[in-house]
């Protein structure tokens, strides 16, 4: 049995931020190469602290869905997963046994050599004439692999240079250049460097966004996918602007390569994780008799289960939108009725007006999406196996822009928690509160919070910054 975990950054503000990770997870689920594919996030749920507990097998491969190595892949993710490692990840990855699971952590997908093929695939989308030996129309064509670049992280540019060097050896292009937005050699100097009359620019970016849609076209004077530059120093040139590599479907193949390489060095698959399975059996035995979890009502009906908001109890099914997949539930509960993003799923803001009809296997996945890690953590709590992490420990662990939460005094933390956690179903074990009954005992809102979530940490940071600004003014 094998579990694959894709780690994304996520966002406290933007529900679209996780879409690329969803898409690759869905593609890989469809491919059926793993028994399960789980997503985990820094700023959404399941959080990095929770996600390993949500995996069903003892064989877990974790892939950071990042375009380059850096602070998140080397510091934040290993720390939050409890890998006991900080710093550069070796090419063969890191293997640890954590809570009875063998966890293999790989390099981010963006550094895999197969990304060279993704760059070529993106180039072919704007230049269909690009054959196995170069452009079939015989026009000399240059390729620019465009990276963000930053003077703070040489790894992010190294991977661009490596891809450019590999592509220069293929003979597909008359010239190959590695150029950057924020470091030398800069892309806005391309007309002086590139001689070929036709130029393909492939952004080596993880997603479509501000840079790929706005700053790059503006800085380079691009007017669309094809732009003519009649007055360049080397003569007229035409630029073909491709979409970013990180959103290409072939990234799913790169992920499979990474996972297989990580597992290949470390033997066969694992077993069903017993604590995980016991937790879900405890939940399903309640669901089979009809139950409530959080704001949701689960009703068994003729061998399937209906899930709806409990405030929609009694409404005719025809008045509600009917969902038939766990992913449909996932997408439905990501935003409130007012369309606001829900980074913390236990905030009392599940939207109304829908119902899902699911078989038992899909019910598990739908509940996982609706309340990530809650079945596992609540069961662990009932077995006295969920250890709370006090605020001071969470704060001490923070680095980067969040390190300043270490300066928050207890009154500040409590003030923010009263506001934020007051809208949340979970009971703050980390603050010394007690949870005596849970949804597994028939109390729908009974859910433990073992550790302050990143949403609260971010709010405490804001509070500290506000106080400092107020003191200075
Ligand atoms: Fe909910 Fe507060 Fe726990 Fe975050 S820290 S999950 S808001 S109880």
Q: Output the pLDDT for position 151.
A: 54
Q: Please indicate whether residue 283, judged by its CB atom, sits closer than 6 Å to ligand 1.
A: no
Tell me, yes or no, whether 456 and 347 share the same domain: no
Tell me, yes or no, whether 44 and 84 share the same domain: yes
Q: Please indicate whether residue 292, judged by its CB atom, sits closer than 6 Å to ligand 1.
A: no
Closest ligand 1 atom, residue 423 Cα: 7
Q: Could you tell me if residue 281 is inside a domain?
A: no
Tell me, yes or no, whether 122 and 235 share the same domain: yes
Q: Could you tell me if residue 453 is inside a domain?
A: yes
Task: Note down the domain range covering 73.
Answer: 3-111+252-273
Q: What is the pLDDT of residues 359-381, one digit of tens each?
A: 999 999 999 999 999 999 999 99
Pocket residue to mutate for ligand 1, from 44, 48, 50, 346, most atoms within 8 A of Cβ: 346
Tell me, yes or no, whether 107 and 119 share the same domain: no
Q: Output the pLDDT for position 219.
A: 93
Q: Please indicate whether residue 398, judged by its CB atom, sits closer than 6 Å to ligand 1.
A: no
Q: What is the pLDDT of residues 238-267, one digit of tens each?
A: 999 999 999 999 999 999 989 888 876 445
Tell me, yes or no, whether 138 and 242 share the same domain: yes
User: Among candidates 223, 20, 22, which has minimal Cα distance to 110?
Assistant: 20
For residues 203-218, give the mean pLDDT.
91
Q: Could you tell me if residue 282 is inside a domain?
A: no
Q: Please indicate whether residue 346, judged by its CB atom, sits closer than 6 Å to ligand 1.
A: yes
Q: What is the pLDDT of residues 419-442, one digit of tens each?
A: 999 999 999 999 999 999 999 999
Domain containing residue 176: CATH number? 3.40.50.1400
Q: Output the pLDDT for position 17.
A: 84
Residue 13: pLDDT over 70: yes
Quick check: helix, strand or coil at residue 67?
Answer: coil
Tell me, yes or no, whether 120 and 239 share the same domain: yes
Tell me, yes or no, whether 125 and 231 share the same domain: yes
Q: Please indicate whether residue 344, judged by its CB atom, sits closer than 6 Å to ligand 1.
A: yes
Look up the ipTM and state it. Answer: 0.99
**Cα-only R_g, the chain:** 25
Half-sphere exposure of 439 (CA within 13 A, CB side): 30
Q: Please indicate whether residue 77, judged by its CB atom, sits closer than 6 Å to ligand 1.
A: no
User: Among candidates 269, 251, 282, 257, which has minimal Cα distance to 35?
Assistant: 269
Partnered with residue 131 across adjacent β-strands are 134
Q: Residue 452 in contact with residue 461, Cβ under 8 Å?
A: no
Tell me, yes or no, whether 80 and 120 share the same domain: no
Q: How many domains does the chain have?
A: 4
Quick check: helix, strand or coil at residue 305?
Answer: strand
Q: Could you tell me if residue 391 is inside a domain?
A: yes
Q: Output the pLDDT for position 155.
A: 67
Domain containing residue 296: CATH number? 3.30.1360.190
Q: What is the pLDDT of residues 287-327, one digit of tens each?
A: 999 999 999 999 999 999 999 999 999 999 999 999 999 99
Partnered with residue 7 across adjacent β-strands are 40, 64
Q: Output the pLDDT for position 266.
A: 45
Cα torsion 318, 284, 50, 392: sign: positive
Q: Please indicate whether residue 428, judged by its CB atom, sits closer than 6 Å to ligand 1.
A: yes
Tell me, yes or no, whether 132 and 243 share the same domain: yes
Q: Could you tell me if residue 285 is inside a domain?
A: no
Ligand 1, atom 5, residue with closest C-alpha: 452
Residue 117: pLDDT over 80: yes
Q: Could you tell me if residue 279 is inside a domain?
A: no
């Amino acid at each position: 049995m094998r579990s694959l975990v894709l780690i994304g950054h996520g966002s406290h503000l933007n529900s679209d931020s996780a879409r690329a990770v969803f898409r690759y997870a869905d593609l890989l689920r469809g491919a059926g190469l793993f028994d399960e594919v789980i997503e985990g996030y820094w700023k959404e749920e399941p959080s990095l602290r929770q996600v390993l507990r949500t995996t069903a097998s003892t064989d877990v491969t974790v892939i950071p869905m990042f375009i380059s190595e850096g602070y998140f892949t080397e510091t934040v993710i290993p720390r939050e997963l409890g890998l006991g490692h900080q710093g550069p990840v070796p090419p063969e990855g890191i293997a640890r046994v954590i809570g009875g699971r063998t966890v293999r952590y790989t390099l981010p997908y963006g550094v895999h050599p197969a990304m060279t093929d993704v760059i070529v695939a993106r180039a072919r989308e704007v230049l269909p004439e690009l054959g196995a030996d170069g452009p079939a129309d015989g026009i000399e064509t240059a390729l620019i692999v465009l990276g963000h670049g930053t003077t703070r992280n040489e790894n992010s540019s190294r991977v661009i240079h490596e891809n450019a060097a590999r592509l220069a050896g293929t003979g597909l292009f008359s010239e190959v250049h590695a150029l950057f937005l924020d470091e030398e050699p800069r892309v806005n100097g391309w007309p002086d460097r590139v001689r070929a009359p036709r130029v393909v620019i492939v952004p080596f970016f993880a997603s479509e966004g501000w840079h790929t849609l706005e700053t790059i076209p503006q800085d380079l004077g691009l007017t669309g996918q094809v732009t003519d530059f009649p007055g360049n120093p080397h003569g007229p040139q035409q630029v073909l602007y491709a979409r970013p590599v990180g959103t290409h479907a072939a990234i799913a193949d790169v992920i499979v390569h990474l996972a297989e390489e990580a597992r290949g060095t470390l033997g066969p698959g694992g077993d069903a994780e017993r604590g995980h399975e016991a937790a879900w059996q405890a939940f399903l035995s309640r669901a089979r008799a009809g139950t409530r979890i959080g704001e949701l009502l689960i009703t068994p009906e003729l061998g399937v289960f209906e899930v709806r908001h409990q405030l929609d109890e009694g409404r005719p099914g025809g008045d509600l939108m009917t969902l038939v997949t766990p992913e449909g539930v996932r997408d439905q509960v990501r935003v409130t009725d007012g369309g606001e993003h829900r980074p913390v799923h236990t905030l009392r803001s599940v939207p109304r007006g829908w119902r899902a009809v699911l078989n038992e296997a899909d019910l598990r996945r739908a509940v996982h999406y609706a309340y990530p890690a809650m079945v596992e953590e609540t069961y662990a709590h009932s077995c006295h196996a969920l250890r709370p992490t006090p605020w001071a420990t969470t704060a001490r662990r923070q680095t980067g822009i969040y390190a300043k939460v270490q300066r928050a005094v207890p009154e500040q933390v409590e003030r923010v928690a009263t506001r934020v956690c007051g809208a949340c179903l979970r009971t703050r074990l980390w603050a010394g509160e007690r949870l005596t009954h849970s949804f597994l005992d028939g109390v729908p809102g009974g859910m433990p919070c073992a550790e302050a979530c990143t949403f609260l940490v971010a709010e405490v940071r804001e509070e500290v910054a506000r106080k400092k600004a107020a003191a200075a003014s």
